[in-house]
């Protein structure tokens, strides 16, 4: 296998791994938001804001990493 093909394959695998992580974080965030919306979480407003803020920060970090990976 030519080196260029191997590099492309490795980058594709990295990108796929990052996309899977982003999808998992989005799923987790949406589940948290649904529970909060239903009122099934007994968190204080402060804890809710922290939970949502952490999820957003994680997503932003993963998106930035994905963008950097795609740019090479």
Give tens-digit pLDDT for 2-51: 777 877 888 788 888 888 888 888 888 778 777 777 776 566 666 767 77
pTM above 0.85, yes or no: no
**Phi, psi dihedral angles at 39 (to 5 degrees):** 80, 15
> Hey, CA dihedral for 17, 22, 27, 29, is it positive or negative?
positive
Where is pLDDT greater, at 42 or 59?
59
Whether 69 has a pLDDT exceeding 80, the answer reads no
- CB-based burial of residue 53 (10 Å sphere; 0-12 exposed, 13-18 middle, 19+ buried)? exposed
Whether 60 has a pLDDT exceeding 80, the answer reads yes
Q: Where are the domains of the chain?
A: 3-65
What is d(CA 14, CA 21) in angstroms, rounded to the nearest whole number? Answer: 11
């Amino acid at each position: 296998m030519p080196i260029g093909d191997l590099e492309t394959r490795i980058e594709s695998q990295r990108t796929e791994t990052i996309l899977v992580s982003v999808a998992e974080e989005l799923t987790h965030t949406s589940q948290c938001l649904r529970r909060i919306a239903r009122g099934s979480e007994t968190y204080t407003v402060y804890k809710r804001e922290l939970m949502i803020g952490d999820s957003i920060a994680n997503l932003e970090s993963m998106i930035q990493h994905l963008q950097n990976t795609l740019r090479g």
